[in-house]
Structure 1
């Protein structure tokens, strides 16, 4: 941010690496007609499983592979379709509230930052596998998944600036033969759940055909087949739909199932948790905004304890707060790199020519603070900027948001994040009065120095909600 304020819209960071600081360049770099492939930074973010690289929707550089992965399942991620997952999000919200209240009663305070991350991961488990990971129930990092993802992205953020190091070490077959690398815990979990579900389906198919399946075929003496028969897992979860997609088109490779499920967990959970924490933090540190939100929530007529997606879409100030938090504290803190592939290069920012082979990207933290687009107070929290009439200025701000990327590589799971966020935030602040245990604000630090910064708060059920109970959603 400081470099762009000093040198302007185009900053050279390396021999062939350019950072662009104006959202006006978004169409030229990320637009559907730009056709700029992802840089080697994303190769570093491809995890290993049994010594083999696992590519996914987010991290693949191969545009043909990305199309092959995305085309069969894109429809599943439409907001119209995702609303069908709302009851399963409600189930996880209910567990989140109950477990957090239990900890508050025992310890007087809660680390809301940790609980929001537990929630984000367990929602993905619920809607993808019909099985929460267990973060909320145990109030802990199950199988070290959160820690593994943190270390994975910490490694990628540094080594991604020098991708050759990744080829020489983590992705070097000789090194992996001498020192076998640890398998990704997220990939391992996804593969295990896929194997379980496929075993269940085979057993059910055999039963319908009048053929007895062998005990233990599913790995746990028929446990998951029994679960299916008792209706204890959602037959319309992501895993079920992914399996149906492969059944309809047997030409799809088996490893696509791993890529789809891993992408859901790895790319979806952590970014949602970051944005949830940012929204809460900004509201708690800006009492005037929190008061406005409380006023809006108090005047709304919610049909139950958990705010529905439809109800949340009527809350204009909530929408403004979520947009503003995504603008000021984007989950992505590095440039989303692309490579100029056309022999003639590409022109950006009013005539700056980038030759073929140039690595170029826009950093959301820079772009979202462009004063020409967002106003003189672009560095400041101001949700009211999103309440202005839907004029050209408002449209320009909307076009300039890179919270979930842009173009045809926009995050496919952004609607999942929105479903969680637009339901949880109003539910949280309509039910509780939340105050900091200490008044200290967040500080931006080098992540190598701090593993996790807590969001320690006290929660108290609001007086107007004391008599309400968490009721089961049928």
Structure 2
């Protein structure tokens, strides 16, 4: 049996030196690694156990077991914290020369605090106005709004950033957006590329038109009453994504949100947005029974619809058709990967499209001249009872200018387009700046799209004319299309971009042609910007309007 010697010749000063040395060695080791979820529990175990081991020789110096434990734990954590903070604010830190808030340099808990307020887009805009085009927004994180940096950030040698570690719950496979490695991402994305190719999207047009007609019927039922367009757009996009992924069945426009899907999705998106700021905390959070229960509940809901879709089949080659390789003679039962990716697609596709639609109609009602110009182009191009054709819509200059301007002012991903140099590359040179491995680089579209270097004059104003390439007004505006990144880019750019644009075009054309629209009398239009919240994607407030059918 092991017993301690009766006395060790160790002084209190030597004990302190031992503990501080441990803190320094621990810092030097862990600063080389991203505190990624797979390592969290080992790291926590090491940090919790080590001070107790260090306290053993200190028992003799402090003449008490409990006093030794107290001093060991206190001094260990205080020393480790002090060394870490001093290193992160030191000029010799790899990012020490980049400006930014002192609290952001010290800890990602600053980012958590900012994100918790739902106004991260405004904070980032203010940071860039204060510090310039490159801002340090975390201990190992930069935010960049230089257009010259975009091709490099989206280019070879850059993987997805650390925020995506938060999308890796232990209870299910990793969804496509959570795959950070470009090669693995490309393999998983093949089926999606096929499902959302130009020829495949052409087959989806009847689905879009059918759902738009249903949306019009719902709005006509409330005509001349106050209608919340944001609510109806969210119902429409969820119903359509349900058609795309599982052959239908959601029917929110018909039945309302009887299953609480919208509320559940909103809660999940908010929680994920907070976890993005401290990705290593995700693995702990996912293991909390209440959180895990929600994930399992949402996954069970997806499995139900996926199995029903497989059993019943579909007359349309929807996205699910491609994901399960339904053309194959063998085929296979929807597995965890298909269910997980389908669920992510529904959330991402419905929420982002609904918020952009709401934004565009808000801006059109704020700019009646633009609304009338758009209506005139629609009436001149498409007969009232004519069919919607994707090629015709793609060649309507003012319609596409309106959509681009809406995407510019309210992009689907306002802040969180993040990349990071791949392990083993040694880092990347972006412009004249060297970005070491382990550094996350953000491109915040909301901020870049409102930068007067790239969009002027009036970068915060809705002016579709800035996108026109013909006419007297086109030379009045600076419009740098290279700075326009609403759908990100590179290997992880939005796979559903073309489908989203087609959806926007069709909904806008039908509703603008069908209805006159004005804000409700008691609606304060300034509330739109005030109620806009950023939870990875934008969350809009209500958009109360009065619709009057034109015919």
Normalised TM-score (structure 1): 0.81
Say which is worse superposed, 374-383 or 389-398, in terms of deviation.
389-398
Q: Residue 370 of structure 1: CA displacement?
A: 2.3
In structure 2, distance between residues paired with 1:344 and 1:285? 49
Match of 1:195 among 285, 304, 307: 307
Is 1:123 the equivalent of 2:205?
no
Structure 2, gaps ≥5 residues long: 1-124
Q: Is residue 158 of structure 1 aligned with residue 274 of structure 2?
A: yes
Q: Distance in 1 between matches of 2:372 and 2:272?
A: 40
1:6 aligns with 2:127: no
**1:235 CA displacement:** 3.9
Is contact 2:215–2:236 with CA below 8 Å preserved after alignment? yes
- Alignment check: 8 A CA contact 1:89 1:420 kept: yes
Give the counterpart of 2:187 among 68, 93, 103: 68
Structure 1 residues 234 and 127 mapped into 2: Cα distance closer, same or farther (>3 Å)?
A: farther
What's the offset of the Cα at 1:196? 2.0
Contact 1:44–1:160 under 8 Å retained in 2: yes
Distance 1:190 1:269 in 2: 15
Comparing 92-101 with 185-194, which one deviates more in the overlay?
Answer: 185-194
Using a 3 Å threshold, how does the CA distance of structure 1 residues 96 and 136 change in structure 2: closer, same or farther?
A: same
Deviation string 1:358-417 (CA, Å, 9 cap, x unpaired) is 111100011112222222322221111110259999997332222111111111111221
Matched residue, 1:471: none
Instruction: Say whether 1:323 aligns with 2:390.
Output: no
Whole-Å separation in 2 of the counterparts to 1:194 and 1:253:
7
| 2:490 paired residue number | 407
Would you say the 8 A contact 1:90–1:306 is kept in 2? no
Count of aligned pairs: 419
Q: Please state if 1:97 is matched with 2:213.
A: no
Q: CA deviation at 1:305?
A: 6.3
What is aligned with 1:302? 383
Q: Which residue of 1 aligns with 2:549?
A: 461
CA distance 1:132–1:188, shift in 2 (3 Å) = same
Is 1:86 aligned with 2:174? no
Show the counterpart of 1:57: 176
CA contact (8 A) 1:307 1:424 kept: no
Match of 1:418 in 2: 501
Instruction: Please say which of residues 396-405 and 417-426 is displaced more in the overlay.
Output: 396-405
Deviation digits for residues 408-432 of structure 1, max 9, x if unmatched?
1111111221121110101100000
Counterpart-to-counterpart distance in 2, 1:393 and 1:336: 30
Q: CA deviation at 1:357?
A: 0.8
Residues 122, 135 of structure 1: 8 Å contact kept: yes
Question: Do the aligned residues in 2 keep the contact of 1:333 with 1:363 (CA within 8 Å)?
Answer: yes
| Counterpart in the other structure of 2:530 | 444
Structure 1 354/249 Cα, relative in aligned 2: closer, same or farther at 3 Å?
A: farther
Q: Structure 1 residues 364 and 300, CA, compared in 2 at 3 Å: closer, same or farther?
A: same
Distance (whole Å) between structure 2 residues aligned to residue 6 and residue 159 of structure 1? 27
Provide TM-score, normalisation by structure 2: 0.70
Distance 1:248 1:271, change over 3 A: farther
- Aligned mates of 2:386, 2:514 — CA distance in 1: 8
CA distance in 1, matches of 2:252, 2:233: 10
Contact 2:215 2:253 in 1 (8 A): yes
Counterparts of 1:392 and 1:250, CA distance in 2 = 55
Matching residue within 477, 481, 484 for 1:398: 481
Q: Structure 1's 86 and 343: CA in aligned 2 closer, same or farther, altered over 3 A? A: closer
1:332 to 413, 432, 453: 413
Counterpart of 1:16?
140
Q: Could you tell me how far apart the structure 1 residues matched to 2:452 and 2:268 are? A: 34
User: How far off is 1:246 after superposition?
Assistant: 8.1
CA-CA distance at 1:440 after TM superposition:
1.7
Indicate the residue corresponding to 2:39 in structure 1. Answer: none
1:335–1:363 contact (8 Å) kept in structure 2: yes
Aligned-CA RMSD value:
3.0
371-380 or 445-454, which moves further after superposition? Answer: 445-454
Output the CA distance in 2 between the equivalents of 1:103 and 1:386: 34
3-state DSSP of counterpart to 1:28: helix
Whether contact under 8 Å (1:92, 1:126) holds in the other structure is: no
Q: State the structure with more CA Rg.
A: 2
Q: Decide which of 373, 377, 396 is 2:454's aligned counterpart.
A: 373
The question of whether the paired residues in 1 share the 8 Å contact of 2:467 and 2:479 is answered with no
Asked if 2 retains the 8 angstrom alpha-carbon contact of 1:129 and 1:193, the reply is: yes
Tell me if the contact between 2:127 and 2:135 (Cα under 8 Å) persists in the aligned partners. Answer: yes
| 1:129-278 alignment, distance < 5 Å | 129-138=246-255, 140-170=256-286, 172=287, 175-176=288-289, 180-183=292-295, 186-198=298-310, 200=311, 224=312, 233-244=314-325, 247=328, 254-278=335-359
Alpha-carbon distance in structure 2 between the residues aligned to 1:343 and 1:324:
37
Q: What's the CA shift for 1:234? A: 2.4
Tell which has more relative contact order, 1 or 2 (C-alpha 8 A, sep 6+).
Answer: 1
SS of alignment partner, residue 101 of structure 1: helix
**CA shift digits 1:71-122 (9 cap, x unpaired):** 23412211232011111111111111112211336xx111111001111111
CA contact (8 A) 1:283 1:289 kept: yes
Cα deviation, residue 127, structure 1: 2.4
How far does residue 11 in structure 1 lie from its aligned partner after superposition?
Answer: 0.3
Rounded to whole Å, the distance in 1 between the matches of 2:338 and 2:376 is 45
Does the aligned pair in 2 maintain the 1:44–1:166 contact within 8 Å?
yes
Other structure's SS at 1:460 match? strand
Structure 2 equivalent of residue 110 of structure 1: 227
- Could you say which structure has the higher helix fraction? 2
